[in-house]
Amino acid sequence: MHLTGRHFRGTTNSLPYMIIHVTDGSDPRLDPFRWRDRQLASRLDRLDAVGAGMFVAEGDLVVDRAIELHYEAIALLCDEPTGIRLADSVDESVQVFIGSEQLRGDVTGLGVPLRATGLFRRPALASAHDVLSRATRVVVAEEIDNPTNLGAIVRSAVALGWDAIVLSAGSADPLARRALRVSMGSGLSVPFVRLAQNENIGKLLQQHNYVSYAMTPDISATSLSSVTVTPGQKTALLLGSERDGLEQVTMTEATHVVRIPMHGGIDSLNVGAAAAIAMHALGPDSHHA
């Protein structure tokens, strides 16, 4: 049985919004909250310059951030207090589903009854030239296909003062469910672009006057601790996959090849941890030349 009720905002306009109480977890209206990333947005959707497909924001903090940043909400699944609060912040056409802890945990597949889960329209993608011309500090993720690692990188980028993320064609999606969850919604507030297969990141960075730093565990690279950043320079940090690292052509075209010195017989750090150290060392709080 599905109970549907219409409530009213506590405003002078008394604009209506839709609260829908659901008791059946198999209700087809909840299907999008169950969908995986490929169902929410196809590969072509994720490359769309005008905005296509959807993404899911998991957790009330992430949903709040998406709404505050004016992402277009489609539907919300919440506990009752959170649903009533959020319904006042979205368009009246947005369906706000209210369900029990058991239902919410089962529908999302997390087993955890989040206070809020939101279904949103994906934004249009900007061009690489547009983003690189506006930014001062960019993180380049080359073939980083693990959404957990990418989410950690994005969260650090926002926290440590970096302006944009540039993704190779094979990198994970910052708006993937896991990536967005790990980044605590940071992926919503930093612009990102995805390069086409034939776009060369080294040449793009040179064209936009970036000083680029390619990360590697190779002992022959310059220690990050000895690097100084010139005030006002445009800076790019290049990160590769944990399996293979950066492609050789990317390393060759970089301005500098740098490493984090290791101890204790460890050859390298997880790329998310290494990225955070490098972003702090090269970011706005770095030591300058």
Does the residue 105 lie in any domain?
Answer: yes
Average pLDDT over the chain, rounded to whole? Answer: 88
Pair (209, 149) in one structural domain:
yes
Does the residue 111 lie in any domain?
Answer: yes
Domain closes at, from 121, 145, 180: 121
> Is residue 7 a contact partner of residue 83, using CB atoms and an 8 Å limit?
no
Strand partners, 237: 139, 213
Of all residues in the chain, the percent with pLDDT exceeding 90 is 72
Q: Are strands 2-8 and 222-223 parallel, antiparallel or unpaired?
A: unpaired
Q: Which pLDDT score is estimated for 166?
A: 97
Q: In the predicted model, what is the mean pLDDT of residues 47-73?
A: 84
Q: Are strands 2-8 and 16-22 parallel, antiparallel or unpaired?
A: antiparallel
Count of domains for the chain: 2
Q: Which pLDDT score is estimated for 15?
A: 41
Q: Which pLDDT score is estimated for 17?
A: 60
Q: Where are the alpha helices (DSSP H) in the chain?
A: 31-34, 37-40, 43-46, 60-68, 80-87, 101-108, 128-134, 147-159, 177-182, 201-207, 248-253, 271-282
Pair (84, 148) in one structural domain:
no
Lowest pLDDT segment from 12-26, 52-66, 128-142 = 12-26
**Span 113-149, pLDDT tens digits:** 899 999 999 988 888 999 999 999 999 999 999 999 9
Structure tokens given for 194: 């995805």
**Span 143-179, pLDDT tens digits:** 999 999 999 999 999 999 999 999 998 899 999 999 9
Domain range for 78 is 2-121
Q: What is the CATH number of the domain that holds 138?
A: 3.40.1280.10
Rounded CA-CA distance 6/3 in Å is: 10
Q: In the predicted model, what is the mean pLDDT of residues 72-95?
A: 94
